[in-house]
């Protein structure tokens, strides 16, 4: 089965082909980082317009490289939400048009489910599992007994982990996107120079909070002499990263213990963070839990995860009609 995947939930335009016999045959991504860098974050209207320009040429390129025609596909899978509504509409409208033109089944995929199932593109899933979804817009814990069944245990009460990374980077004058910059500079940081809070550490609920951490970082950075020394920036990056990773790991493994799962997984853009991957690997090993970090290319937004998720839906006999609508927010739902 060959499934075309389309992902336009935010600022990356991506198309991919998932072949049930070969795996991911192609995964193309057109980044908008340079477009939004000047603004220090994603501008929704600019993102939507860029998707309009980039999407169909990417589809043509994918089909040409794979020596396929639209009629050779078996289905179209597209992100229906959550995300920027204008950006989502570009992808969904295109996916519907392609499906209708070639008389192909259409599958709408929840963006978070795509990120979760991206782990299956690296290796076969070990289930039941606890999944930490962490990105610029999401930080939540999902219990996954099987593919298609998801139980959201809790999430952030205010800001997402990825937003805390990006806001810190902006305060330090680092380039956009900030998360990878902090990951890189933290390796040069000196432990103990700064101290930042671990919000809700004693709260037994599976919830997160990063707004207080952001305020603490701003207070510290605003009080530092200018210009900021390179080592000072690295020291701040180190401690901020430690605070975020501590919060994520503690809640992840507490939830895993409560649900008696055999594996833990990471999903979303923050899953690419080197320190988080190392810490989860070490803690999982101590607890005899399976863990294998997803390939970094599948942590950020990509259509390969959408194509694979669509394939899972199709295997279970679930498709959508051309009346399918996009949605800007909403929890991942079970469909099995």
Per-residue pLDDT of the chain (336 residues; tens, 9 = 90+): 999 999 999 889 999 999 999 999 999 999 776 666 667 677 888 889 999 999 999 999 999 999 999 999 999 999 999 999 999 999 999 999 999 999 999 999 999 999 999 999 999 999 999 999 999 889 999 999 999 999 999 999 999 999 999 999 999 999 888 899 999 999 999 999 999 999 999 999 999 999 999 999 999 999 999 999 999 999 999 999 999 999 999 999 999 999 999 999 999 999 999 999 999 999 999 999 999 999 999 999 999 999 999 999 999 999 999 999 999 999 999 999
Return the pLDDT at 33.
67
Judge whether 45 lies within some domain.
yes
- 252: CATH: 3.30.420.40
- Look up the domain containing 142 and give its range: 126-293
CA distance 96 to 78: 9
Helix (H, G, I), strand (E, B) or coil at 145: strand
CA distance 14 to 58: 8
Q: How many domains does the chain have?
A: 2
Return the pLDDT at 227.
96
Return the pLDDT at 38.
63
pTM to 2 decimal places: 0.94
Give all strands of the β-sheet with 129-134 in edge-to-edge order: 149-155, 139-146, 129-134, 263-267
Check the CA dihedral 88-94-96-98 and report its sign.
negative
Return the pLDDT at 36.
66
| Range 227-252 burial, b when 16+ CB lie within 10 A, else e | eeeeebbbbbbbbbbbbbbebbbebb
Question: How many other CB atoms sit within 10 Å of the CB of residue 267?
Answer: 26
Judge whether 331 lies within some domain.
no
Return the pLDDT at 263.
98
Check the CA dihedral 186-191-197-200 and report its sign.
positive
CA distance 169 to 176: 8
Q: Which helix (H) or strand (E) holds 76?
A: strand 75-81
CA distance 35 to 46: 8
Judge whether 332 lies within some domain.
no
User: Two tokens at 291?
Assistant: 């863990």
User: Two tokens at 9?
Assistant: 């939930």
**Are residue 135 and residue 70 in the same domain, yes or no?**
no
**Are residue 233 and residue 284 in the same domain, yes or no?**
yes
Judge whether 336 lies within some domain.
no
**Are residue 262 and residue 302 in the same domain, yes or no?**
no
Return the pLDDT at 306.
98
Q: Which helix (H) or strand (E) holds 13?
A: strand 13-19
**Are residue 79 and residue 204 in the same domain, yes or no?**
no
Judge whether 323 lies within some domain.
no
Judge whether 108 lies within some domain.
yes
Q: What are the DSSP calls for 146-210, one per residue?
A: ETTEEEEEEEBSS--HHHHHHHHHHHTTPPSSHHHHHHHHHTTPPTTSS----TTTT--SS-B--
Return the pLDDT at 47.
85
**Are residue 19 and residue 138 in the same domain, yes or no?**
no
Return the pLDDT at 176.
83
């Amino acid at each position: 089965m060959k499934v075309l995947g389309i992902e336009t939930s935010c600022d990356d335009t991506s198309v991919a082909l998932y072949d049930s016999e070969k795996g991911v045959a192609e995964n193309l991504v057109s980044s908008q980082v340079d477009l939004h860098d000047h603004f220090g974050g994603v501008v929704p209207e600019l993102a939507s317009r860029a998707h309009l320009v980039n999407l169909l040429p990417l589809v043509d390129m994918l089909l040409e490289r794979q020596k396929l025609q639209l009629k050779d596909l078996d289905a179209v899978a597209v992100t229906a939400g959550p995300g920027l509504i204008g950006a989502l509409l570009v992808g969904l409208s295109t996916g519907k048009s392609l499906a209708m033109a070639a008389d192909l089944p259409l599958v709408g995929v929840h963006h978070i489910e795509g990120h979760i199932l991206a782990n299956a593109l690296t290796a076969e899933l070990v289930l039941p599992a606890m999944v930490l979804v962490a990105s610029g817009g999401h930080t939540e814990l999902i219990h996954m007994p099987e593919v298609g069944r998801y139980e959201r245990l809790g999430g952030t009460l205010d800001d997402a982990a990825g937003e805390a990374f990006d806001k810190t980077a902006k305060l330090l004058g680092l380039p956009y996107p900030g998360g990878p910059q902090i990951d890189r500079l933290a390796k040069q940081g000196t432990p103990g120079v700064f101290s930042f809070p671990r919000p809700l550490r004693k709260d037994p609920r599976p919830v997160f909070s990063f707004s207080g951490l952001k305020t603490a970082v701003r207070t510290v950075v605003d009080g530092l002499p200018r210009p900021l020394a390179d080592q000072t920036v690295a020291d701040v990056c180190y401690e901020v990263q430690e605070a975020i990773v501590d919060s994520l790991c503690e809640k992840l493994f507490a939830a895993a213990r409560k649900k008696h799962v055999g594996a833990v997984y990471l999903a979303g853009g923050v899953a690419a963070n080197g320190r988080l991957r190392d810490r989860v690997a070490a803690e999982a090993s101590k607890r005899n839990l399976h863990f294998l970090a997803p390939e970094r290319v599948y942590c950020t937004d990509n259509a390969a995860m959408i194509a694979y998720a669509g394939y899972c839906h199709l295997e279970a006999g679930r498709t959508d009609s051309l009346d399918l609508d996009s949605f800007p927010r909403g929890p991942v739902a079970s469909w099995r």
